[in-house]
């Protein structure tokens, strides 16, 4: 039996369960990958796969989306290559999809390396390349060595690849660092040194990227070896001037937890970003701030977590002025920053999302907003536009689900005079062209017909449109934000959404949480109440009991439903403080039609107060009305609401 046939029989035997997997470190990872290759991807280990090299425009797009990360990673790769070049290894850096975006190797081996796929633009996803260092590392999210016949395809069994995943400061997968050789000793132990170096430089690249991203923040560096913590922290947290954590490196995410309490499970305790430093450390926050002024110590200070672990600590001050400080010195930055900031209160998930959104503004990255219906996808898209340098130009929103399929092509691309019967005599500029220089928001992109998806893909790729009936394309300066409540990946599998369009649109994904899961509902109620009251020229006041009902509702329609309820309640209240009786029945829990008597909320009385009556309002309501009207809450209960009724407000 040939070695090739033996390898094929081994893979298929292990997958079928008729052969045991060979022993050794990483065996279960390789076996799971073999199973995925056969059962999920339908691959055949006997084939010699064609190496998938992405086209230059796709590679260029991948590089542009990871530009800052690539600059940092390149420096680390060059240092690592000095250690492994004499041993016959090459380095490959990939994005999160497994596409090679940087490469260092020996030019004299160029033909052999390209033939093996160890080159820029090669796609090492398991879907295309079977079990391999890069694809399996990205699938399993762990460092591994795929040595020789660990590979799925017989064409790859000569390779030895050691790969480590790379993450951004928020724990999102950035890509992978791979060290590969065309040939190597048969013993797996020969790769131990390479594995150690790959992991070491992978963490160095992550931490350097962390330092670069948060150069405008304070960085708390923690370590177990005091003399080294000033130059290299094993654990690092970036925080703002309020002490709120805005980033955590891999070590911090692995070892630090929030204060243990009954309402937090282990996953929630691990969500450092968006929490305050006091949720992690038992050490007084003043003592941590004192580290920012601390030189002159022989030994770094010790800080202690709520879990009882002590770490040597030092604080690195911002290397550039924090964004908030810059915003205070120049216009129009403050207004632009506020547009995003006011979308949420103290909800950790929203704080993290808005921080990421602020970083993406004016970056050459396509944004896909996902979330349930009513979570505010268009509101976020408008805030991104208004926070960008394009704010002075048009924001064009297109609901791909609401335009009839027969009209969507002409609506998007426009048409020339006389293109079809009933067309405007002067033609029409399409929605895409109207967004030139501004922002094109494609809402419910998952509902766009497949034929239009193909045309849109070309527009995004070429940055030009061809109106119906036109002979010459028109260049457009596009900034595209897409949104959908659907799972587009499932649509790709079902064949109703183009995979290549998906990757064009999702350079970054922002996932809006449903309202029922947000911790800033009080902030949202007050914000929407003020906005809707201003629109109706009325008082933004609400009783404690009505607020409690709003906070207790599960909001299947999310923020949109909340806004509709507040608008309705203000209309029914007609100048009074919003009370339980002004809320829709599905919120208040009653079936009575409006205008019938409802119980007053005041605890000291069971008086029935008809809606619209001039009777005294509950004490809780008068407090809110007094505050809204700028009066003292100690005045009689009839002050604010009754005063408005008396003048016919």
pLDDT digits (tens, 9 = 90+) for 564-578: 999 999 998 888 899
Tokens of 214: 């948060």
Please give the distance of CA 432 from its chain centroid, rounded to a whole number: 26
Distance (Å, whole) CA 50 – CA 310: 53
Per DSSP, the three-state class of 433 is: helix
Q: Are 507 and 366 in contact (CB under 8 A)?
A: yes
User: CB neighbours of 476 closer than 8 A, spacing ≥ 6?
Assistant: 432, 433, 435, 436, 459, 463, 464, 465
The model's pLDDT over 298-319, given as tens digits with 9 standing for 90+, comes to: 555 788 888 788 888 888 888 7
Least confident of 177-186, 623-632, 635-644: 635-644
Residue 641's pLDDT is 36
User: Tokens 């998806």 identify what position?
Assistant: 453
Distance (Å, whole) CA 611 – CA 605: 16
Residue 649's pLDDT is 30
User: CB neighbours of 609 closer than 8 A, spacing ≥ 6?
Assistant: 581, 597, 598, 599, 600, 615
* For residue 604, pLDDT beyond 90: no
The model's pLDDT over 56-98, given as tens digits with 9 standing for 90+, comes to: 888 888 888 888 788 889 989 999 999 988 888 999 999 999 9
Least confident of 34-43, 46-55, 413-422: 413-422
Q: For residue 346, count CB atoms less than 10 angstroms from its CB and return exposed for 0-12, middle for 13-18, buried for 19 or more.
A: middle
Q: For residue 39, count CB atoms less than 10 angstroms from its CB and return exposed for 0-12, middle for 13-18, buried for 19 or more.
A: exposed
Of 409 and 247, more confident: 247
Distance (Å, whole) CA 503 – CA 612: 56
Residue 484's pLDDT is 94
User: CB neighbours of 278 closer than 8 A, spacing ≥ 6?
Assistant: 243, 285
Least confident of 307-311, 342-346, 571-575, 627-631: 627-631
Residue 230's pLDDT is 64
Mean pLDDT of the chain: 79
Mean pLDDT of 39-66: 86
Mean pLDDT of 508-529: 93
Residue 599's pLDDT is 35
Least confident of 16-20, 44-48, 288-292: 288-292
Residue 186's pLDDT is 66
In angstroms, the first-to-last Cα distance of the chain is 94
Q: For residue 252, count CB atoms less than 10 angstroms from its CB and return exposed for 0-12, middle for 13-18, buried for 19 or more.
A: buried
Q: Are 541 and 574 in contact (CB under 8 A)?
A: no
Q: If pLDDT is split at 50, 70 and 90, which confidence band does 143 have?
A: very high
Please give the distance of CA 169 from its chain centroid, rounded to a whole number: 12
Torsion of Cα atoms, 230 then 233 then 239 then 242, to 10°: -50
User: CB neighbours of 222 closer than 8 A, spacing ≥ 6?
Assistant: 229, 233, 234, 235, 236, 237, 252, 303, 311, 312, 313
Distance (Å, whole) CA 408 – CA 420: 15
Q: Which span out of 182-186, 285-289, 533-537 was modeled with the highest average pLDDT? A: 533-537
Residue 459's pLDDT is 87
* pTM greater than 0.85: no
* Residue 525 half-sphere exposure toward CB, CA atoms < 13 A: 22
Single out the residue of 221, 208, 219 nearest to residue 311, CA to CA: 221
Q: Are 360 and 367 in contact (CB under 8 A)?
A: yes
Q: Which span out of 46-55, 342-351, 412-421, 422-431 was modeled with the highest average pLDDT? A: 342-351
State the architecture of 3-209 in CATH terms: 2-Layer Sandwich (3.30)
Mean pLDDT of 324-336: 37
E strands present in 344-490: 367-370, 395-399, 414-415, 428-429, 439-443, 464-465, 474-475, 480-484
* For residue 455, pLDDT beyond 90: no
The domain made up of 342-347+355-511 is a member of CATH 3.40.50.300: yes
- Residue 332: CB atoms within 10 A of its CB come to 12
Q: What is the CATH number of domain 516-646?
A: 1.10.8.60
Least confident of 124-128, 414-418, 456-460, 494-498: 414-418
- Residue 610: CB atoms within 10 A of its CB come to 12
Residue ranges of domains in the chain:
3-209, 214-316, 342-347+355-511, 516-646
Ramachandran assignment for 511, one of left (phi > 0), alpha (psi -120 to 50 degrees), beta (any other): beta
Q: If pLDDT is split at 50, 70 and 90, which confidence band does 323 have?
A: very low
One DSSP character per residue, 363-386 reads: SS--EEEE-STTS-HHHHHHHHHH
E strands present in 4-117: 89-95, 100-104
Tokens of 48: 């010699």
Least confident of 386-390, 476-480, 607-611: 607-611
Distance (Å, whole) CA 571 – CA 589: 19
* For residue 413, pLDDT beyond 60: yes
Q: If pLDDT is split at 50, 70 and 90, which confidence band does 269 have?
A: low
Distance (Å, whole) CA 483 – CA 301: 47
User: CB neighbours of 66 closer than 8 A, spacing ≥ 6?
Assistant: 95, 101, 174, 175
Of 299 and 417, more confident: 417
The model's pLDDT over 540-597, given as tens digits with 9 standing for 90+, comes to: 899 999 999 999 999 999 999 999 999 999 998 888 899 998 998 888 775 443 333 3
User: CB neighbours of 75 closer than 8 A, spacing ≥ 6?
Assistant: 208
Share of the chain above pLDDT 90, in %: 31
Single out the residue of 373, 458, 448, 463 nearest to residue 411, CA to CA: 448
* For residue 625, pLDDT beyond 50: no
Gyration radius of the chain over CA positions:
30
* For residue 460, pLDDT beyond 90: no
User: CB neighbours of 531 closer than 8 A, spacing ≥ 6?
Assistant: none
The model's pLDDT over 374-390, given as tens digits with 9 standing for 90+, comes to: 999 999 999 999 988 88
Q: Are 301 and 292 in contact (CB under 8 A)?
A: no
Residue 232's pLDDT is 65
CA distances from 519 to 269, 350, 514, 550 (A): 15, 9, 11, 13
* Angle between helical axes of 521-536 and 558-573 (0-180°, round to 10): 50
Tokens of 401: 């689900």
């Amino acid at each position: 039996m040939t070695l090739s046939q033996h390898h094929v029989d081994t893979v298929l035997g292990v997958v079928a369960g008729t052969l045991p997997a060979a022993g050794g470190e990483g065996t279960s990872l390789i076996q799971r990958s073999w199973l995925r290759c056969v059962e999920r991807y339908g691959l055949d280990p006997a084939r010699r796969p064609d190496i998938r090299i992405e086209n230059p425009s796709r590679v260029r797009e991948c590089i542009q989306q990871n530009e800052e990360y690539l600059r940092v990673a390149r420096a680390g790769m060059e240092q690592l290559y000095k250690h492994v070049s004499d041993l016959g290894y090459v380095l490959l850096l990939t994005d999160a999809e497994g596409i090679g975006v940087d490469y260092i190797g020996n030019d004299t081996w160029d033909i052999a390396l390209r033939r093996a796929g160890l080159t820029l633009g090669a796609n090492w996803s398991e879907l295309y390349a079977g079990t391999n260092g890069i694809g399996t590392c990205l699938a399993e999210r762990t460092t591994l060595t795929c040595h020789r016949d660990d590979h799925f395809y017989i064409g790859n069994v000569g390779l030895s690849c050691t790969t480590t995943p790379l993450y951004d400061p928020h724990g999102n997968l950035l890509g992978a660092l791979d060290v590969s050789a065309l040939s190597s000793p048969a013993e797996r132990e020969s790769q131990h040194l390479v594995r150690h170096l790959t992991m070491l430089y992978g963490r160095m690249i992550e931490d350097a990227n962390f330092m670069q991203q948060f150069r405008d923040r304070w960085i708390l560096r923690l370590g177990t070896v005091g003399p080294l913590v000033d130059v290299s922290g094993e654990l690092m947290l970036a925080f703002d001037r309020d002490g709120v954590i805005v980033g955590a490196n891999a070590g911090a995410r692995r070892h630090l937890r929030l204060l243990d309490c009954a309402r937090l499970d282990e996953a929630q305790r691990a969500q450092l970003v968006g929490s305050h430093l006091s949720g992690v450390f038992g050490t007084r926050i003043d003592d941590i701030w004192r580290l920012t002024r601390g030189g002159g110590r022989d030994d770094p200070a010790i800080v202690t977590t709520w879990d009882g672990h002590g770490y040597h600590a030092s604080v690195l001050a911002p290397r550039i002025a924090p964004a908030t400080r810059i915003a205070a010195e120049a216009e129009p930055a403050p207004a632009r920053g506020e547009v995003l900031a006011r979308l949420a209160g103290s909800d950790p998930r929203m704080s993290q999302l808005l921080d990421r959104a602020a970083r993406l503004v004016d970056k050459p990255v396509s944004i896909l907003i996902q979330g349930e219906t009513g979570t505010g996808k268009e509101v976020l898209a408008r805030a991104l536009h208004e926070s960008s340098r394009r704010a002075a130009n048009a924001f064009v929103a297109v609901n791909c689900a609401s335009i009839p399929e027969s009209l969507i092509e002409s609506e998007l691309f426009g048409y020339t005079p006389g293109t079809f019967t009933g067309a405007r005599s002067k033609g029409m500029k399409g929605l895409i062209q109207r967004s030139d220089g501004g922002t094109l928001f494609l809402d419910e992109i998952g509902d766009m017909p497949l034929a239009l998806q193909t045309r849109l893909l070309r527009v995004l790729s070429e940055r030009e449109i061809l109106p119906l009936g036109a002979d010459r394309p028109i260049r457009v300066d596009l900034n595209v934000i897409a949104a959908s409540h659907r799972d587009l990946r499932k649509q790709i599998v079902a064949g109703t959404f183009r995979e290549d369009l998906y990757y064009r649109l999702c350079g970054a994904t922002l996932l809006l949480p449903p309202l029922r899961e947000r911790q800033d509902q009080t902030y949202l109620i007050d914000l929407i109440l003020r906005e809707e009251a201003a629109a109706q020229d009325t008082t933004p006041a609400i009783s404690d009991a009505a607020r409690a009902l709003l906070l207790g509702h599960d909001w299947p329609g999310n923020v949109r439903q909340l806004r509709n309820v507040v608008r309705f309640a203000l209309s029914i209240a007609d100048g009074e403080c919003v009370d339980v009786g002004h809320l829709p029945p599905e919120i208040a829990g009653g079936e009575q039609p409006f205008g019938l008597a409802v119980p007053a909320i005041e605890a000291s009385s069971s008086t029935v107060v008809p809606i619209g009556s001039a009777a005294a309002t509950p004490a809780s309501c008068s407090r809110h009305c007094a505050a809204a009207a700028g009066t003292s809450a100690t005045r009689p209960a009839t002050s604010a609401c009754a005063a408005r009724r008396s003048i016919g407000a």
